[in-house]
């Protein structure tokens, strides 16, 4: 996909995008890096690693924008294993917080029940 398209480094690529927000700020290269590594809504920005530098294209940015907005016909997978039935690794800190919250709710429910409320 990226082979026949003009390559831009992640530092150059923000210049291809419109400025956003009320102050018309440029999207940072860090944001592009996050889009490429973590993705947004299950979609990742296509990049190419050459000589220790990451590159993307205007067309890849366009495909990514359409995929995130849900207007694309096909989504760019977040990882090679996307589409398989493998579950994503769970975050133990979030799991612990969820368990703690559920336990607090259950304690409150028992107190209310004991008080006849």
pLDDT in tens, 66-112: 888 886 555 555 555 444 555 555 666 667 777 888 889 999 999 99
Q: Which residues contact 66 (CB under 8 A, 6 or more apart)?
A: 72
Find the domain containing 21 and state its range: 7-78
50: β partners: 53
Q: Name the one residue in this structure whose structure tokens are 């419109």.
A: 18
β-bridge pairing 53-57 and 7-9:
antiparallel
**Domain membership flag for residue 67:** yes
**Domain membership flag for residue 88:** no
User: How many domains in the chain?
Assistant: 1
Determine the pLDDT at residue 110. 93
* Mean pLDDT within 14-23: 86
Determine the pLDDT at residue 112. 92
Count Cβ atoms below 10 Å from residue 25 Cβ, excluding itself: 10
* Mean pLDDT within 5-33: 89
Q: Which residues contact 55 (CB under 8 A, 6 or more apart)?
A: 2, 7, 8, 9, 10, 47, 48, 49
Confidence of residue 59 (pLDDT cuts 50, 70, 90): very high
**Domain membership flag for residue 59:** yes
pLDDT in tens, 24-54: 888 899 999 999 999 888 889 999 888 889 9
């Amino acid at each position: 996909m990226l082979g026949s398209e003009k390559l831009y480094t992640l530092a150059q690529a923000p210049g291809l995008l419109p400025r956003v927000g009320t102050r018309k700020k440029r999207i940072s290269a860090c944001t592009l890096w996050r889009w490429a590594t973590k993705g947004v809504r299950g979609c990742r920005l296509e990049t190419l690693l050459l000589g220790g530098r990451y590159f993307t294209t205007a067309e890849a940015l366009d495909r990514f924008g359409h995929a995130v907005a849900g207007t694309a016909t096909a989504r760019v997978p977040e990882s090679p294993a996307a589409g398989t039935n493998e579950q994503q690794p769970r975050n133990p800190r979030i799991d612990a917080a969820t368990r703690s919250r559920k336990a607090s709710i259950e304690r409150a429910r028992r107190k209310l029940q004991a008080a006849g409320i």
